Amino acid sequence: MIAVYACSGLAVLLLILLFFVGDGRETDEDKLLYAEHDLRSEVLSPPEIVHRIFSRQDRRFIRDFDSPRLRRIYSKERKQIARDWIRQTSRGIRKIMRDHLRSARASQNLELSGEISLLGHYVQLRCLCGLLALSSLLVSPGVLQEVALYACNLSHRMKSAHHRLEATFQIPSPESTAGVSR
Amino acid sequence: MKDAFKPGLLRSAYDDLLNRTLAKIPSEFGRLIYLASTRDYNSGSYHHEGLSTRFTSEDASAALWAAHREIFWRLASLSLEEVVRELDAYIQSSHEQCDEILHAWLELEPYRVAIPMDVDPIMAQLLLSNIKIGLEVLRIRQKKNSASPSGAWPLPSPAR
């Protein structure tokens, strides 16, 4: 019985760790770089690009050249982009969640199942980002292609779910709120 | 008097740009660099004398912007092997010495200014990184080529 509790505790600890590892905390430089971009356009990269970042085909192409220097450059470049993509995705889903919470707080009709599903997507994505961030330190991005694509598709699903739920929110107008308070 | 900005005219301006100008440029990198060169460094807006005489300057600018983004997207989505092929095609069509271009591009990284504004930073980073790796691949091939007696460049390895 103790072993079961210990394993469960360990699993929960691991999930919490993964949740915070892929946190993608922003440096001041990041904030400057992304602030304007985030306001204007999509914060989540399309799956086609994620497929390329974590491409196995590219890895094989480079491996066929008998050049350690080329392999080193490739590995360094791709790991950097993979890490930046994980941080961008993590930042993107946190922004979606923040926006969603802001709208949900003001709304009078919440669709509970939809909200739980959105939260599920969010927790899953945070853990996946943590897993990807840790794994990218150990293995080549090409090995992580499936997980990265899954995370990418899930992040887009989360974004769509947020927009769908937000469209159904009934947010009281300032006049009606003022009337109630009077 | 020229018509006001209309999607129909923008489409015509875009098609005109594609058929009259871009079709004559043999490689995607050539097109990307050409389109980037029509952009004002200070304002970021696009200008094209020929297009502006046939359409409004707004339509011409919007068509150049759309074409720039379209080609950027196509290049960023390419595999590394295809990027190398495109870079090779660009170098072959430039009438400059291959080693000189490789040296200048590796040293000065002029391709950085060819990225359109307000695109996904990860996409931009991926393309720039692929160009850097692609140039290194071409440098290695050129080295092998100058070392081997036959003048032909080795073909890229077949995709598995």
User: Domain map of chain B by residue range?
Assistant: 7-76, 80-146
Q: What is the pLDDT of residues B52-72, one digit of tens each?
A: 888 888 888 999 999 999 999
Q: What is the pLDDT of residues A36-83, one digit of tens each?
A: 455 444 478 999 999 999 999 999 999 998 899 999 999 999 999 999
pLDDT at A19 over 80: no
Closest among A83, A161, A77 to A122, alpha carbons compared: A161
Question: Measured between CB atoms, does B79 come within 8 Å of chain A?
Answer: yes
Name residues whose C-beta falls within 8 Å of residue B74's C-beta, 6 or more positions apart in sequence.
B28
Which of the four pLDDT bands, split at 50, 70 and 90, describes residue A31?
Answer: low
- For residues A114 and A160, give the distance between their C-alpha atoms in angstroms, rounded to a whole number: 12
- For residues A23 and A21, give the distance between their C-alpha atoms in angstroms, rounded to a whole number: 5
Chain-chain contact of B121 with A88 (C-beta, under 8 angstroms): yes
CB contacts of A45 in chain B (<8 Å) are: 120, 122-123
Name residues whose C-beta falls within 8 Å of residue B106's C-beta, 6 or more positions apart in sequence.
B132, B135, B136, B139
- For residues B11 and B26, give the distance between their C-alpha atoms in angstroms, rounded to a whole number: 23
Closest among A94, A76, A105 to A130, alpha carbons compared: A94
Q: What is the pLDDT of residue A41?
A: 42
Report how many Cβ contacts below 8 Å link chain A to chain B: 76
Chain-chain contact of A58 with B80 (C-beta, under 8 angstroms): yes
Tell me, what's the ipTM? 0.80
| Closest in A37, A52, A80 to B121, CB measured | A37
Residues of chain B with pLDDT under 70: 1-7, 148-160
Q: What is the pLDDT of residue B8?
A: 74
State the amino acid at position A48 in one-letter form. E
Averaged pLDDT of chain A:
82
Q: Which two tokens mark A56?
A: 């196995």
CB contacts of B136 in chain A (<8 Å) are: 69-70, 73
pTM metric for this prediction: 0.81
Question: Which residue of B lies nearest to A69 if distances are taken between CA atoms?
Answer: B136
